[in-house]
A = this chain, B = another copy of it.
Amino acid sequence: MVITELAELSGIPAPTIKYYVREGLLPAGERVGGNRTEYDESHAHRLKLIRAMLEVGKLSIGAISGVLAVLDDPDTTIVDTFDIAQRALSRDTVSGISRGSDAALERVDGVLDRAGWTDCADNPGREIAARVVDAFDRAGHPLPDSYLDAYAASAQRMAEADLGAIAELADPTDMAELMVVGTVLGDTLSAGLRRIAQAYITTERRIS
């Protein structure tokens, strides 16, 4: 299909599509004849992924580019894909937040210990969690360990659902893609459902 057809199919304007090609997010179409460029289903699919990461995940173009580069590398294993994608995704989350203090990192390590999550000390999530611990402190509402542990148990349940969905797929490219999409979109799903659960529990406990 030509670019106007791709634009119509994906709902993304042609100039934006050209911008994604220039930024390396989307492979260039195939030149057929002098000024005609052909795109196919793989371009349409890639555009859907980009849109999900931009709109729902609120990722920067730089983060999306890092994540897609991992998906495009056929030599990357699933574990490596996850690792590299997590680092690309985490850069947006921690941008503009001061580094986690040593005290906060120590508290997060305690959470990982109690959760039984071994060998995770270099995961970017550790730094994210430490920055949040510091932010609660600074805001005058330090978090008790029991709160952090409840969040860890909850995170484990989500991660089990994530990996369960991934394990049902057969194709490694599909698996890697769901890992990335799920990591981005799952955060927003969790935020939405947490809002509803908070409202339900507030009403149920008659807190007023």
Contact = CB atoms under 8 A, between A and B. Distances in A.
A178 interface: yes
Contact of A198 (B54, B162, B207, B208): B162
Given A56-B131, A79-B203, A198-B163, A190 B120 contact: no
Given A141-B182, A163-B205, A191-B128, A197 B155 contact: yes
Query: Which interface residue of A89, A96, A136 has the most chain B CB atoms within 10 A?
Result: A136
Q: What is the total number of copies of this protein in its complex?
A: 2
A123 B150 CA distance: 23
A132 B192 contact: yes
A131 B195 CA distance: 14
Interface size class of A (residues with CB under 8 A): 35 or more
Nearest to A196: B125
Contacts of A207: 78-79, 163, 166-167, 175
A120 B199 contact: yes
A69 interface: no
Interface stretch (A19-27, A31-39, A43-51): A43-51
Interface of A: 45, 48-49, 51-52, 54-56, 58, 77-79, 82-83, 86, 89-90, 93, 96-98, 111-112, 115, 117-120, 123-129, 131-133, 135-136, 138-141, 143-144, 146-148, 150-167, 175, 177-178, 181-183, 185-203, 205, 207-208
Given A117-B196, A150-B160, A162-B198, 17 more contacts: A48-B139, A52-B136, A78-B202, A86-B195, A112-B196, A125-B199, A135-B185, A136-B181, A139-B177, A144-B165, A146-B161, A147-B165, A154-B157, A154-B158, A156-B197, A156-B200, A190-B191
